[in-house]
């Protein structure tokens, strides 16, 4: 049961002039937009990370680096599957 921190989409149950008292559709739209912003941020970061991994692999010729960069690439791919 909520005491003071619950939100509602029903204006009749919201505090007077509560900015959180928005419709379910508006809440869904805000959530979708936030998710899209997060996705764009992730995609940008992912592309940078993969470019850096490729750069390291191309310029440092060591079996340890080769293994580590492949492992990093797999981790990025796994995270991408979870976030995309």
Q: DSSP for 28-79? A: HHHHHHHHHHHHHHHHHHHHHHHHHHHHHHHH---HHHHHHHHHHHHHHHHH
pLDDT at 44: 98
- pLDDT-above-70 percentage for the chain: 80
Indicate the SS3 state at residue 5: coil
Span 42-65, average pLDDT: 97
Q: Is the pLDDT of residue 8 over 80?
A: no
Q: Looking at residues 21-45, what average pLDDT do you find?
A: 91
Q: Give the model's confidence band at 13: pLDDT under 50 very low, under 70 low, under 90 confident, else very high.
A: confident
Instruction: List CB contacts of 39: < 8 A, sequence separation 6 or more.
Output: 83, 84
As a whole number of angstroms, the distance between CA 3 and CA 42 comes to 36
Domain boundaries, the chain: 11-83
């Amino acid at each position: 049961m909520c005491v003071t921190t619950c939100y509602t989409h029903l204006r009749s149950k919201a505090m007077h002039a509560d900015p959180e008292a928005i419709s379910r559709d508006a809440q869904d739209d805000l959530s979708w937009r936030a998710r899209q912003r997060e996705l764009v941020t992730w995609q940008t970061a992912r592309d940078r990370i993969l470019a850096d991994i490729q750069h390291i692999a191309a310029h440092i010729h060591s079996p340890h680096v080769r293994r580590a960069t492949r492992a990093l690439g797999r981790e990025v791919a796994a995270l991408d599957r979870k976030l995309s």
